[in-house]
Amino acid sequence: MSILPTQRFRTQHDEIGAIVGRIEAILMSPTGHTRAQEIRQAFSELSAKLRLHLALEDDVLYPRLARHEDTKVRDLAAKYQTEMGGIRQTYEDFLAQWVHSGKLVTEYPAFQTALKGVFAALKDRIHRENTQVYPLADVGA
């Protein structure tokens, strides 16, 4: 069985999803509000994974798709790259506002609400890359 060209990206998505799941489990637990250090550590891991993943996509995947002969593929790649910049900034702003500032402790319910939006956008992005972008790259796009 051959390895898909996007296997590394897909594996990173799985790793990111596992960390997101850990954070969500902490937040759903009755003691979540007392586990700030554990939450911060998980966000540190998530941030490292995301930064590596995004750098690889920016350096390898999207430039390759941007050179594709099919205009639709090039347009899709450009759209996703631009869109990810917005998601990246939203995530960085979230970290600054909630995780690094300590508000995740002092305003825990609001932190949970804000996090749901960030994670929903991230999960949607991962799903769309897995189902729309990576299949194009896997067939030689």
pTM: 0.92
Q: What is the per-residue pLDDT across 2-29, written as a single tens digit (0 to 9) for each?
A: 788 999 999 999 999 999 999 999 999 9
Taking CA atoms, 33 is separated from 25, 30, 39, in Å, by 12, 8, 9
Q: What is the per-residue pLDDT across 99-120, written as a single tens digit (0 to 9) for each?
A: 999 999 999 999 999 999 999 9
